[in-house]
Amino acid sequence: MSVTQQQVLDGLAKVMSPRGVALTDSNVLSAIAVNDGKVFFSINVDAAEARAWESVRTQAEAAVRAIPGVTVAMIALTAERKAGSAAPPPPPHRHAQGVPNVSSHRPPQSPVSPMSKQSEIPGIAAVIAVASGKGGVGKSTTAINLALGLRDLGLRVGLLDADIYGPSVPRLTGIRDKPQLNDDRKMIPIQRFGLAIMSIGFLVEEDTAMIWRGPMVMSAITQMLR
């Protein structure tokens, strides 16, 4: 059964936003992409309201998946801080008369690693990122061979393709299958070569354009990762 954008909109119209109006009337939806039973779109809100909208994203995903013919629904919640809303700088230290500036006598603090603020990934002991500032240099080839090498050392390895725009991993692995859903409607990574592999290329046809901005890409990767 072919799924249409209007069916998706009709389903989303039943979901209420935190503002008390239908999601379709909240002016937060991106363009809706529907392709062979797979539905992709984002809910774009201000960063200050992101927590209140997470339950709406969950309801929207459930509403879309309930549409007959939908096999995959990926709804990204993107939260962007409005221009000019950055946190103000801390006030300068003031010297009360006769009171020294205590902070000037504190020992220098060692820098805090930004990775220490990242939440752990359930079931994952270590993450190796393969990245480059340039395309076509062999990131996917390196990542796959690195995964296979770790597998040969007896480790349990998964490969997540973070390239939303490229079909490299599906091409290199020869995988043309689609991820299956479990009873909780979560995608199960494809098992090949002793690896658990997940790529957006398994969900979208190679000649399908992905017109996604940075926050949408990151949300999609987070959903596949967790």
Q: Where in the chain is the domain with CATH 3.30.300.130?
A: 5-80
Q: Is the pLDDT of residue 164 over 90?
A: no
pLDDT exceeds 50 at position 65: yes
Please give the pLDDT value at position 208: 67
Residue 171 pLDDT greater than 50, yes or no = yes
- Residues 75-82 have a mean pLDDT of 73
Distance, CA of 217 to CA of 158 (rounded, Å): 20
Q: Read off the pLDDT of each residue in 88-95 and give the average, rounded to a whole number.
A: 48
Mean pLDDT of 59-73: 90
- Which 3-state string (H, E, C) describes the chain? CCCCHHHHHHHHCCCECCCCCEHHHCCCECCCEEECCEEEEEEEEEHHHHHHHHHHHHHHHHHHHCCCCCCEEEEEEEEECCCCCCCCCCCCCCCCCCCCCHHHHCCCCCCCCHHHHCCCCCCCCCCCCCCCCCCCCCHHHHHHHHHHHHHHCCCCCEEEECCCCCCHHHHHHCCCCCCEECCCCCEECEEECCEEEEEHHHCCCCCCCCCCCHHHHHHHHHHHHC
For residue 203 the two structure tokens come to 């969900």
> Where in the chain is CATH 3.40.50.300?
119-225
- Report percent pLDDT > 90 for the chain: 15
Q: Which CATH superfamily is domain 119-225 in?
A: P-loop containing nucleotide triphosphate hydrolases (3.40.50.300)
The pLDDT tens digits of the residues spanning 136-158 come to 788 888 888 999 999 998 899 98
- The CATH topology of domain 5-80 is GMP Synthetase; Chain A, domain 3 (3.30.300)
Judge whether residue 107 has pLDDT over 60.
no
Confidence of residue 103 (pLDDT cuts 50, 70, 90): very low
